[in-house]
Structure 1
Amino acid sequence: MVEVFKTDATKHKEAMLLTALYEAFPMYRINFDLEDCDHILRIEGDSICNEKVIGLMSAYNCFCDVLE
């Protein structure tokens, strides 16, 4: 399963966010595409809890929502 989120992440925050995401969700494959206009966060895993991902991003003052 792959989930794609739009964010307001910046290059400045990318490393910190990736570290936090990998610590919280070590079983996921995670990457950002900050060149995209929606500053994409892509997560691949067996079972992804969107609410937990969005909550963690919010804890770092970063907007995050599922890309429709």
Structure 2
Amino acid sequence: MVYVFKTSIQYKKQIKDISKNLNEINEIKKWNFDLEDCDNILRIVAETDITSSVYEIFDALNYSCIELE
């Protein structure tokens, strides 16, 4: 499945902060940010629902994200 999140990430340095945590979730096969999109989109390809894990990571690092439909 592909999960799409609107995020508060604005800079590459912030992606670097969060990338280690995203890489530790085994269910995530691929992820990328689109900082040129007005919603600073995070797309994740995963085998199972990883939404709660993503929310926990963002909250722990004081960033925000909302899953888009």
TM range (shorter): 0.7 to 0.9
| CA RMSD across the alignment | 1.2
| Residues 14-67 of structure 1: CA deviation (Å, up to 9, x unaligned) | 1111122112x1341111111100000110011022111111111111111101
| Partner-residue secondary structure (3-state), 2:16 | helix
> What number of residue pairs does the alignment pair up?
67
Q: Which has the higher strand share?
A: 2
Give the whole-Å Cα distance in 1 for the aligned partners of 2:57 and 2:38. 22
Task: Give the structure-2-normalised TM-score.
Answer: 0.86
Q: What is the aligned partner in structure 2 of residue 45 from structure 1?
A: 46
Q: Is contact 2:8–2:65 with CA below 8 Å preserved after alignment?
A: yes
Q: How does 1:1-68 map to 2 (within 5 A)?
A: 1-11=1-11, 12-23=13-24, 25-28=25-28, 29-68=30-69
In 2, the alpha carbon distance for the partners of 1:44 and 1:57 equals: 17
Structure 2 segments unaligned to the other structure (5+ residues)? none
Q: TM-score, normalised by structure 1?
A: 0.87
Which whole-Å CA distance do the structure 1 matches of 2:5 and 2:45 have between them? 12
Which of structure 1's runs of 4+ aligned residues deviate more than 4 A? Answer: none
Measured in 1, the distance between the counterparts of 2:66 and 2:2 equals 14
